[in-house]
Amino acid sequence: MYYVRYTEENVREEEQRRENIDEIDQPSKKGEPVTVKKALARPDGEMWKEAIEKELQSFKENEAWGRVYVL
């Protein structure tokens, strides 16, 4: 088991990886977009962009860490 510090770069890399997986590209039950790309393409995309930036800044300020299993 490894611990990885979340950074803007690895969060973006993970999102990019997920965009390439068709199974994840299903609508959420709440009607929210399931990828950043889809969120930003919506009419309220600017709101989504601000929310994403705020969340990434929070990760940075709080030095958020998460458990990552490496295969």
Task: Give the best-scoring range by mean pLDDT among 7-21, 22-36, 37-51.
Answer: 37-51
Backbone angles phi, psi at 56, to 5 degrees: -65, -40
What is the dihedral angle through the alpha carbons of 10, 67, 47, 35, rounded to the nearest 10 degrees? 70
DSSP-H helix ranges across the chain = 8-19, 36-41, 45-61
The answer on pLDDT for 13 being more than 60 is: yes
pLDDT bin (cut points 50, 70, 90) of residue 28 is low
**Structure tokens, 57:** 């800044």
Is pTM, for the whole model, over 0.75?
no
